[in-house]
């Protein structure tokens, strides 16, 4: 069995990957292989092999996701028809509307996530992890505390979600009786899958934030910028000569070849980011120490490599937007309707036989109301705090090639809501 390093981005999100695969939200497998260096790398005395970790499409995972999608769809349709025909016959229309809309939004979030996983998101996720692998071949992180924090953050989110969802649906099963075991279990799975989707999104935000901070810190070092004023995240970044293809000579500058590290596809205007030796020209060695990192050939090469890393990160942000955009929108709509539904059920008052259950729920419904609101508040806080944290980072570090398109779109999304 392969033991993955603790300071690896893939191992950092490994608990989330296993949970997602169990729920059918990850129809790919985790592989580790070693790619041989190209001929151009050997010409630069690079005889090492590159260990790469990436996700590949799993046929068994696709079949498993399809089965879960069909089973949930059939079960939800049966549950909705049963509720309309037997449970919603003698209650107010407002109660029926809130119940049906909440059920439709919660199931739509899960079904859309599974459907996109089978069609588009699987390939997009492979591109995201491939780009992260390319970034890791350029950046060499000396501290693995960042990855430990990400892994602990993922585990904390999953445990907290399980506790709140377990308390909410456990109370529902206890109050309604064991005969509703199947429907309560199905609703628990639907809600947990939606929560895992949000955890995936927030985890990628954390990884992107850490990568941008590393790039900005390296640019600050090359530009002689005081890192105390910019309050960079602690984490040193160094470059290995065999990965960057930097010659030890001080008179020449060799930039990574485009065929070794493919150019960005989503932004054509950023694809030509490397400067050849002829464009750099002759650089005099009689320069002041303050600007030596700017004009030194090796420093110029490092800047070009960091610009390429920045372009890859920007592409990853666009891919994550396309992967989670619709699901996040549906999840936000479900959170709003769910809170409205529970407040409406608690405050509703009727007279009649079936309304005795609703009247008793006015007292007993406090526990599920608190659990549901806590779950939704936690999801909103995870999204909002991470977006604001990254937003403050790119505002402070905007002078160092920090992209803002990804989180600017998300902040506009929350502002419009």
Radius of gyration of the chain measured on its C-alpha atoms:
26
Q: What is the DSSP letter of 401?
A: T
Q: How far apart are CA 183 and CA 75, in angstroms?
A: 8
- Any domain includes 110: no
Secondary structure string (H, E, C) spanning 181-198: HHHHHHHHHHHHHHHHHH
- Any domain includes 251: no
- Listing DSSP states for 208-249 in one string gives HHHHHHHHHHHHHHHTT--HHHHTPPS--EE--HHHHT--S-
Predicted pLDDT at 62: 87
Q: How far apart are CA 290 and CA 283, in angstroms?
A: 15
Encoded tokens for 360? 């008793």
Residue 379, CB half-sphere, CA atoms under 13 Å: how many?
Answer: 28
Q: How far apart are CA 12 and CA 123, in angstroms?
A: 21
Encoded tokens for 26? 């990850």
- Global pTM value: 0.67
Q: What is the DSSP letter of 404?
A: -
- Any domain includes 48: no
Output the CA angle 57-264-277, nearest 5 degrees.
Answer: 135
CB-CB contact of 302 with 239 (8 Å) = yes
Q: How far apart are CA 25 and CA 200, in angstroms?
A: 10
- Any domain includes 27: no
Predicted pLDDT at 281: 39
Range of the domain at 313: 119-228+300-416
Predicted pLDDT at 308: 83
- Any domain includes 148: yes
Predicted pLDDT at 70: 92
Q: What is the total count of domains within the chain?
A: 1
- Any domain includes 224: yes
178-205 residues labelled b (16+ CB within 10 A) or e (exposed): eeeeebbebbbbbbbbbbbbbbbbbbbb
Q: Are strands 140-141 and 50-57 parallel, antiparallel or unpaired?
A: unpaired
- Any domain includes 317: yes
Q: How far apart are CA 211 and CA 217, in angstroms?
A: 10
H helices present in 297-403, as ranges: 297-347, 355-364, 366-396
The tens place of each residue's pLDDT in the chain, 417 residues long, gives 334 444 566 677 788 888 888 888 887 776 665 555 444 444 444 434 444 555 677 788 888 989 999 998 988 888 888 877 877 777 677 777 878 888 888 888 889 989 988 888 888 888 887 888 778 777 765 556 667 777 888 888 888 888 888 877 787 778 777 777 888 888 888 888 888 888 888 888 878 877 887 777 777 777 655 544 444 444 444 444 434 433 333 333 333 443 444 444 444 444 333 333 343 333 333 433 433 444 455 556 677 788 888 888 888 888 888 888 888 888 888 878 877 777 777 666 544 444 444 444 444 555 555 666 666 566 666 565 555 554 444 443 333 333 334 344 444 444 444
- Any domain includes 145: yes
Q: How far apart are CA 338 and CA 359, in angstroms?
A: 19
């Amino acid at each position: 069995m392969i033991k993955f390093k603790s300071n690896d981005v893939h191992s950092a999100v490994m608990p989330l990957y296993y949970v997602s695969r169990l729920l059918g939200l990850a129809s790919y497998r985790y592989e580790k292989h070693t790619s041989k260096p190209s001929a151009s790398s050997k010409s630069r005395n690079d005889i090492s092999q590159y260990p790469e970790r990436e996700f590949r499409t799993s046929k068994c995972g696709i079949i498993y996701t399809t089965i879960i999608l069909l089973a949930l769809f059939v079960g939800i349709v049966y549950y909705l028809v049963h509720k309309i025909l037997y449970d919603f016959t003698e209650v107010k229309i407002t109660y029926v509307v809130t119940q049906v809309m909440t059920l439709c939004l919660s199931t739509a979030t899960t079904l859309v996530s599974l459907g996109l996983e089978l069609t588009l998101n699987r390939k997009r996720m492979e591109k995201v992890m491939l780009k992260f692998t390319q970034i890791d071949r350029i950046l060499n992180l000396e501290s693995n505390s960042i990855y430990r924090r990400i892994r602990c953050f993922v585990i904390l989110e999953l445990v907290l979600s399980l506790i709140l969802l377990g308390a909410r649906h456990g109370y529902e099963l206890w109050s309604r009786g064991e005969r509703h075991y199947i429907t309560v279990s199905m609703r628990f799975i639907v809600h947990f899958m939606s929560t895992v989707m949000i955890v995936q999104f927030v985890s990628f935000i954390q990884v992107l934030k850490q990568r941008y901070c590393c790039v900005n810190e390296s640019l600050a070092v090359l530009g002689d910028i005081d890192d105390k004023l910019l309050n960079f995240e602690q984490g040193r970044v160094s470059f290995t000569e065999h990965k960057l293809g930097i010659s030890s000579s001080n008179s020449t500058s060799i930039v990574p070849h485009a065929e070794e590290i493919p150019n960005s596809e989503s932004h054509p205007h950023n694809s030509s980011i490397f400067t050849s030796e002829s464009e750099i020209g002759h650089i005099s060695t009689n320069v002041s120490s303050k600007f030596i990192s700017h004009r030194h050939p090796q420093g110029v090469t490092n800047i070009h490599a960091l610009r390429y890393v920045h372009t890859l990160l920007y592409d990853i942000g666009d891919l994550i937007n396309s992967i989670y955009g619709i699901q996040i929108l549906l999840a936000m709509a479900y959170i709003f309707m769910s809170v409205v539904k529970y407040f409406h059920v608690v405050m509703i008052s009727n007279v009649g036989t079936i309304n005795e259950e609703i009247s008793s729920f006015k007292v007993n419904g406090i526990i599920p109301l608190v659990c549901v609101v806590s779950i939704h508040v936690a999801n909103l806080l995870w999204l909002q705090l991470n977006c604001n944290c990254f937003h403050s980072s790119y505002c402070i570090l905007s002078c160092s090639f920090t992209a803002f398109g990804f989180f600017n779109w998300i902040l506009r999304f929350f502002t419009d809501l």
